[in-house]
Chain A
Amino acid sequence: METTLRDFAFVLAFAVLAILFALIAVLIPRFIAPRTVGLKTESIYECGMDPFGSAWIRYAALFYLYALIFIAFDVDVLYLFPVATSYVRGGNPEEFIALLVFVLLLVLAIAYAWGKGVFRWKYEGR
């Protein structure tokens, strides 16, 4: 079974339909929904108080570390899919050894992050 461009024409058609549908769904209320304009209609929601300060607040830098290990990981895990497709049942033990080495290298990434204290969520000196 070959992957052809036509396969992805199906995917493209569905993606376009999704956007078209969403557009229509958003456009319909323009014709039937009421419109009101009050003093606070267009202000953002902050539980009824007047919003203060910038909304783009600072958040924990820890999220960046999680994002970094994810990038190190996700791309590598993707390499395992072709391996899994051509993994033969029985025989050829070197295939398993290759898999073992690859996965152990990935484990090293987690072990490193663990050792560095990424998963600890404690602020030092507080």
Chain B
Amino acid sequence: MRRWLREQFDRYFGSDPVRLLFALGGLFFATLVVLALLYWVVGKVVTAGLEAWGWDLVRLLLGLLGVMVVVFGNALFLVWAERKVAGHMQIRIGPKEVGPYGLLQSIADSVKLLAKEIITPRFVDRPLYLLAPLLIFVPCLVAMVVIPFDARLQVRDINVGIVMILAFSSLTVLAIFMAGWGSVNKYSLIGGVRSISQSIAYEIPMLLSILPVVMMARSLSLKEVVEAQSPYWFVLVQPVAFLIYFVCAVAETNRTPFDLPEAESELVAGYHTEYSGMRFSLFFLAEYTNIFIVCALATTFFLGGYKGPVLPGVVWFFLKTYALIFVIMWFRWTFPRVRFDQLLNFSWKFLIPLAMANLLVTGGLLKL
């Protein structure tokens, strides 16, 4: 390629330097014209955007930036915290070499993952296989739009926020199944099938446990749900709903008592067996972000969100969220994995009827 270019160059300009001069001049003026046009178009678009959107545009850009910081900070912290908590629960120390208390371990890990080779197996279903890691990341970021980190620290307060989060979280199931089916690997397929039946089984009690909260707050906007918890948190009036929600949250994020889709000892890594390097780490990042999101939602729905004395709201919000995440990590080293029929039937035979009874009792008591 390079040699061919050189030959062409010599053929046109080698004999005649003046020709080269003219060519360069023409190129220069063409660049000027294109730049001027670009400047004009971008200027028009920006002015129009500012006129139509005003401060919303600033809010959107700051929100995008802030959410990225939260997503990455959270993932880096959780990878470290998971290993540290696991270590101490097994009377080990956990990572300690990189940085103080091993705090820089996850940064070292992410640099390593960036430099890993990406392998695409030969017989994969290419569109599904390549799209899955991109798609799995969408619901994570979209859910962040409506989460209220503080009374005024929320990207956008959409008044159907709860329904939107629930709708987008179903997209995760789709991405997981695309990964499982597209990998053309037996382990991936079994992992995908398990994951989809588990997610849909636990989605219903999750919806049913959020409904009493919506009933009491009489709004689908997350901020108004938090504001409705002013004398007492909803966990005090809805303890059953909170427990159901939390169990479903653990199941939806495929964490340990319910981690059958990626059970290492039987399915290698489940639906992401065939993914390597950065593609694998996208699944990993989405998983940790999902843990953060379900715990943030539990905080918002039941634990009073950003409300709390003395300390600023953001601090309270993150304290409650990470306390819940710690409980989930604690589960991992406490409970053994359940059997698959037990897993599905626990939801259908126990959680769903319980959640429905809870819904009816709430509805009845509200009418008294």
Nearest-Cβ distance from residue A93 to partner chain B, whole angstroms = 6
Is B293 close to A, CB under 8 A?
no
* Those of A92-109 within 8 Å (CB) of chain B: 92-93, 95-96, 99-100, 103, 106-107
The winner among A35, A84, A99 for most chain B CB atoms within 10 A is A84
A15 surroundings in chain B (CB, below 8 A) = 138, 141-142
- Complex formed: what's the CA distance from A35 to B124 in Å? 19
* Those of B154-173 within 8 Å (CB) of chain A: 155-160, 162-164
Residue in chain A with minimal CB distance to B223: A1
Q: Please state if B189 and A55 are interface contacts (CB–CB under 8 Å).
A: yes
Is A126 close to B, CB under 8 A?
no
Given the known A-B contacts A11-B164, A18-B137, A55-B189, are A44 and B274 also in contact in the complex, defined by CB atoms under 8 Å? yes
Chain B residues touching A, majority SS: helix
| Interface footprint category on A | 35 or more
Q: Please state if B215 and A87 are interface contacts (CB–CB under 8 Å).
A: yes
Given the known A-B contacts A14-B64, A36-B117, A55-B189, are A74 and B142 also in contact in the complex, defined by CB atoms under 8 Å? no
* Those of A1-36 within 8 Å (CB) of chain B: 1-3, 6-11, 13-15, 17-19, 21-23, 25-26, 28-30, 32-36
Nearest-Cβ distance from residue B358 to partner chain A, whole angstroms = 11
Residue in chain B with minimal CB distance to A95: B367
A-B contact pairs, 5 of them (CB 8 A): A11-B145, A14-B63, A25-B281, A34-B117, A43-B122
Q: 5 tightest A-B contacts by CB?
A: A18-B141, A121-B341, A84-B214, A42-B122, A70-B200
Interface residues of A (CB under 8 A from B): 1-3, 6-11, 13-15, 17-19, 21-23, 25-26, 28-30, 32-36, 41-47, 55-57, 59, 63, 66-67, 69-70, 73-74, 77-78, 80-81, 84-87, 89-93, 95-96, 99-100, 103, 106-107, 110, 113-114, 119, 121
